[in-house]
Structure 1
Amino acid sequence: MTRSLSGGVSQQSGARQARIRAHFDHAQGYDGAATLQRVAARALAGDLARSMADRAEKPLRVLEIGCGTGLLTAQLCGLWPQAHILATDYAPRMLERVRERLGVRVETRLMDAASPDVHGPFDVICGNLVLQWLDNPAEALHRLAALLAPGGVLAVSTLRAGTFAEWQAACAAEGQISATPHYPDMAELARWVPYPCQGLWRTERSVQSFAAGLDFVRHLKATGANTPRVGVAAMGAGVLRRVAARFEEAGASVTWELAYGCFRRPSRAGVFVTGTDTGVGKTLVSACLVRRWQALYWKPLQSGLADEEGDTPTIARLAGAHVRCLPPAGAYQASLSPEAAARAEGAAINPASLALPMEEPEQPLVVEGAGGLMVPVTDEIMMIDLAQRWGLPVVLVARSGLGTLNHTLLSLEALRVRGIAVAGVVLNGPPNPENSRTIAHKGQVRVLADIPHEAHLDATVVAELAQRLPLWADIAGG
């Protein structure tokens, strides 16, 4: 998780950004040449429409970065005619073309996507094929995500590794280095997902053919995409013709590897506490979090009441006098999974009853799951499905000792496959620095705290243990 961001811009980077702006400003043939940009804009608009389909209220404030001549902007106007759309770009001439295309329907503003100088919150923030022109896309996405309203969506498209592979091969055959930008692979893209948002990247491939080798070069110039990357000089005319001839001999086609990311900000403040297994200390950690943050507490599903008092009264006892616990959606006697415990009483869990509480949405809510991620809730729903539905970042509780590495790393992998944000891991038990380091490194995750075993637990002990955990401002992520 990134907690501090550098705003400095090197002289070399600043000069390149100025060249990029100039090239886009002078891209007179943009609309005629921007075939793939148009394809990507339609695809991104489709992703946005699907991501917002489950919302009762339509978006009212939309921010677009790198709007170009308005290919995506026009799609946004069609999707949400009621929305105020602020279309921004780094190139003044591009904004003029948006105004020519859409008139007063949208507001336009000159803005660098890497340093947004607008005030949120926005229901939607989006940008089509702009990230590859930014010096630090991960930082830019983090800053943009901080401008989202609760439940808001950040949707972007970019080019990924493998793009223009045919042109790069032709350059290499002539002993040249292609000046096309660096394009990230999927592992790098995964690190761009802005915490605490939830979401995944999807990919698409498209092939574009040209009549002649030099037509590809003219295409890049026509769309303003002919700025060489930092540290690579543009080729001279003679070398360029030889590379173009090689490219033409190979078929004069290029592959575009597209990636689309759609990331949703949590609808309220809070975390979902789950464990690598039953009995790993979720309730103790939840009590510590509630005490540390003065948070609300919700145990949606409680089983095993025939053998214990239940987690909600335990939290009320351990977290302090002023803790507020919301009532469970279902409480059952048998020490079984929620699904099996409900069935043993002739009941069934209604998924509609498991809506995330929205009381005091700016106050952190600690939601404690039952067992681990793959515990059944109904015939069709597991705990991990609820974590994904609620959209809160996850605090994963694990044992500190032998066997924890496999369980913890598998749980982290399961969360990331679903695009669920992870706030961090809490290790419960005797201190084990080696396991803590391994989980942090192999799991690419923050270990929030090590909570030791205590022979006796009461509100005083929990208050002391809570001091080991980060403050809510450090977890909230902007």
Structure 2
Amino acid sequence: MAGVSPLSNRWSKQVLSNFEQAASTYNSQAQLQRAVAWRLARQCARQHIPAGFWVDLGSGTGLMADALEACNPHQAVLRVDGCHEMLKHHHHSSQTLLWDLNLGVPSWPQLPSLLASSFALHWLINPLERLHEWMAALTPEGWLALALPVEGSFPQWHQAAATAGVSCTALPFPSQASLLDVLSSNNIRHQQLHQFTQQSPEVFQLLKPMRQIGAQASPCSTMGVGNWRHLKQAWPRCQNSGDAQLTWLIQLLLIQR
């Protein structure tokens, strides 16, 4: 990857490897990702997005593309992802492209009228630069539909780490403000911040699905057994149920170029 540091290159390879290994279990564990994909697809259906060349960037197993096609029965969506194993789980009739989005946007014979991406941008190197590239790749007045977790997610995890005096190994997410700064010169047609809180009697059960969908990569060092025990003990509990909780902040954006 031209212009990418060896450290960033290793990070990219680690992310892709994790998702490759989790391809067979992704759909059964990605309930949140599926729900968000449908919310974004339904928001797209409420807009006047021109038919034509539609693309799902970082498509994974196709949850976003499937939702878009279900809401728009006569519109096909090209599914682009860097993981071959993920693309193997798409419908046989689907159009797919194996492509590492850290390399930029592929050179297509026609410009897309819609670029959609759900739970993918934050896994890329320099996500704000990628976001700028995606906007520039659209047709004039084309649309970008975006969903991703943002800064402020996982407050319980960060609180537990601070209380226990250990490093928080949660993946850092772009801030809502930084995303809006990149998009300030474009027309934001819809923006909404959704909060989802998961809970379980065991902290491990909250974090286990991340590994099962391949989302366990972190730029931080792996936590040892002792630190993990301290983190688990410090994790805040719901007063009513006594369960551990994990809260996501998911930003939905629809932008017209």
TM-score by length of 1: 0.50
Percent of residue pairs bearing the same amino acid type: 26
SS of residue matched to 2:141: strand
Q: Which amino acid aligns with 2:126?
A: N
Identify if the C-alpha distance between structure 1 residues 248 and 221 changes in structure 2 by more than 3 Å, giving closer, same or farther. Answer: farther
Query: Is 1:167–2:186 an aligned residue pair?
Result: no
SS of residue matched to 1:151: coil
Shift of the alpha carbon at 1:244? Answer: 2.4
Counterpart of 2:40 in structure 1 is: 44
| Equivalent in 112, 123, 131 of residue 100 of structure 2 | 112
Counterpart of 1:79 in structure 2 is: 71
Superposed CA offset, 1:29-51 (max 9, x none) = 22222121111101111121122
Contact 1:64–1:86, Cα closer than 8 Å, also in 2: yes
What are the within-5 Å matches in structure 2 for residues 136-151 of structure 1?
136-151=126-141
Distance in 2, Cα, partners of 1:74 & 1:211:
33
Query: Is 1:238–2:238 an aligned residue pair?
Result: no
Distance in 2, Cα, partners of 1:143 & 1:29:
31
SS of residue matched to 2:235: helix
Counterpart of 2:25 in structure 1 is: 29
Counterpart of 1:206 in structure 2 is: 196
Query: Is 1:179–2:174 an aligned residue pair?
Result: no
Contact 1:60–1:82, Cα closer than 8 Å, also in 2: no
Q: Which amino acid aligns with 1:66?
A: G
| Equivalent in 137, 143, 152 of residue 142 of structure 2 | 152
Contact 2:56–2:78, Cα closer than 8 Å, also in 1: yes
Counterpart of 1:4 in structure 2 is: none
| Equivalent in 54, 67, 92 of residue 103 of structure 1 | 92
What are the within-5 Å matches in structure 2 for residues 70-469 of structure 1?
70-98=62-90, 102-104=91-93, 106-114=94-102, 115-119=104-108, 120-193=110-183, 195=185, 197-199=186-188, 201-229=191-219, 232-247=220-235, 249=237, 251-265=243-257
Shift of the alpha carbon at 1:252? Answer: 1.2
> Which structure is higher in RCO with an 8 Å CA cutoff and minimum separation 6?
2
Distance in 1, Cα, partners of 2:107 & 2:184:
18
SS of residue matched to 1:150: coil
Distance in 2, Cα, partners of 1:49 & 1:139:
27
Q: Which amino acid aligns with 2:214?
A: G
Q: Which amino acid aligns with 1:169?
A: Q
Contact 1:210–1:253, Cα closer than 8 Å, also in 2: yes
Q: Which amino acid aligns with 2:229?
A: R
Distance in 2, Cα, partners of 1:256 & 1:264:
26
Shift of the alpha carbon at 1:192? Answer: 2.6
Distance in 2, Cα, partners of 1:235 & 1:86:
39
Structure index of larger Rg: 1
| Equivalent in 31, 56, 61 of residue 53 of structure 2 | 61
Distance in 1, Cα, partners of 2:121 & 2:71:
23
| Equivalent in 12, 15, 21 of residue 17 of structure 1 | 12
Shift of the alpha carbon at 1:26? Answer: 1.1
SS of residue matched to 1:235: coil
Shift of the alpha carbon at 1:238? Answer: 3.0
Contact 1:59–1:80, Cα closer than 8 Å, also in 2: no
Contact 2:113–2:142, Cα closer than 8 Å, also in 1: yes
Distance in 1, Cα, partners of 2:9 & 2:117:
21
SS of residue matched to 1:63: strand
Contact 2:78–2:95, Cα closer than 8 Å, also in 1: yes
Identify if the C-alpha distance between structure 1 residues 139 and 157 changes in structure 2 by more than 3 Å, giving closer, same or farther. Answer: same
Contact 2:20–2:86, Cα closer than 8 Å, also in 1: yes
Contact 2:45–2:72, Cα closer than 8 Å, also in 1: no
Distance in 1, Cα, partners of 2:121 & 2:184:
14
Shift of the alpha carbon at 1:194? Answer: 7.0
Shift of the alpha carbon at 1:242? Answer: 3.0
Shift of the alpha carbon at 1:110? Answer: 1.1
Identify if the C-alpha distance between structure 1 residues 29 and 247 changes in structure 2 by more than 3 Å, giving closer, same or farther. Answer: farther
Unaligned stretches of 5+ residues in structure 2: none
Superposed CA offset, 1:261-301 (max 9, x none) = 11112xxxxxxxxxxxxxxxxxxxxxxxxxxxxxxxxxxxx
TM-score by length of 2: 0.89
Shift of the alpha carbon at 1:14? Answer: 0.6
Contact 2:154–2:247, Cα closer than 8 Å, also in 1: yes
Shift of the alpha carbon at 1:249? Answer: 4.6
Contact 1:125–1:153, Cα closer than 8 Å, also in 2: yes
SS of residue matched to 1:154: strand
Contact 1:213–1:245, Cα closer than 8 Å, also in 2: no
Counterpart of 1:423 in structure 2 is: none
Distance in 2, Cα, partners of 1:233 & 1:142:
30
Q: Which amino acid aligns with 2:228?
A: L
Shift of the alpha carbon at 1:248? Answer: 6.7
SS of residue matched to 1:148: coil
CA RMSD of aligned residues (A): 2.0
